[in-house]
Amino acid sequence: MQNHNILWNPKLKPRIVVIMPAYNAEKTVKKTVDDLPKDLISEVILVDDASRDKTVQRAKKMGITVYTHKENKGYGANQKTCYDQALKRKPDIVVMVHPDYQYDAKLVGVLCESIVNGRADVMLGSRIQTRRQVLAGGMPLWKYFANRFLTLVENLAMGLNLSEYHTGFRAYSSKVLRTIPYQKFSNDFIFDQQILISALSFE
């Protein structure tokens, strides 16, 4: 896919780094990477959290940057390594895309548009449209209902109206990532909520 820069002034030329926290993604990582709009992205970084399959080998064959944890450290710890490595590249925007092929990686440009144009510092992509679409995309029924329940509780607690807090497709400005103390957050799945709560206080 080409000509994504119509979403913003071509003179801006933002440096976009995509990160992929991976665990046992051998079967889907290639499809995810293939869908990325390469003309917009400076680098793709995959961090493997001690997968038991051939995720690392498959990723290296695609020519993307790969880092590995020698032992499983947890989802939050994986993201920490991803953001650390991404920020070393001095990006304008860091986009997280889970390599499980549950998100439309072609939409990286759309996700980044509001950040590039200065209207936002954090953007979230959501899988939650209709139940039928979500289940057709591969999400188990139990996970769908658990996701909806947790999202309802979190919206009530935080005073927001998001369709999904646990999305694996999100974009951050480098400003917000350098400000948020994400290294102090959990190494587990609660990391997602912690980083969003911290981002709410960013100015």
Helix or strand (DSSP H, E) at 93: strand 93-97
User: Within a 10 A sphere around the Cβ of 159, how many other Cβ atoms?
Assistant: 7
Q: Would you say the C-alpha torsion 144, 149, 155, 158 has a positive or negative sign? A: negative
SS3 68: strand
Could you read off the pLDDT tens digit of each residue along the chain, which spans 203 residues?
454 545 788 888 999 999 999 999 999 999 999 999 999 999 999 999 999 999 999 999 999 999 999 999 999 999 999 999 999 999 999 999 999 998 999 999 999 999 999 999 999 987 555 445 555 555 666 565 666 556 655 555 556 555 555 689 999 999 999 999 999 999 999 999 899 889 877 75
Q: Which CATH code is given to the segment(s) 4-125+167-200? A: 3.90.550.10
pLDDT at residue number 142: 59
pLDDT at residue number 145: 63
| Residues 162 and 63 sit within 8 Å (Cβ to Cβ) | no
Task: Report the C-alpha gap between 43 and 166 in whole angstroms.
Answer: 24
| Residues 49 and 24 sit within 8 Å (Cβ to Cβ) | no
Neighbouring-strand partners of residue 171: 95, 123
Task: Report the C-alpha gap between 84 and 61 in whole angstroms.
Answer: 23
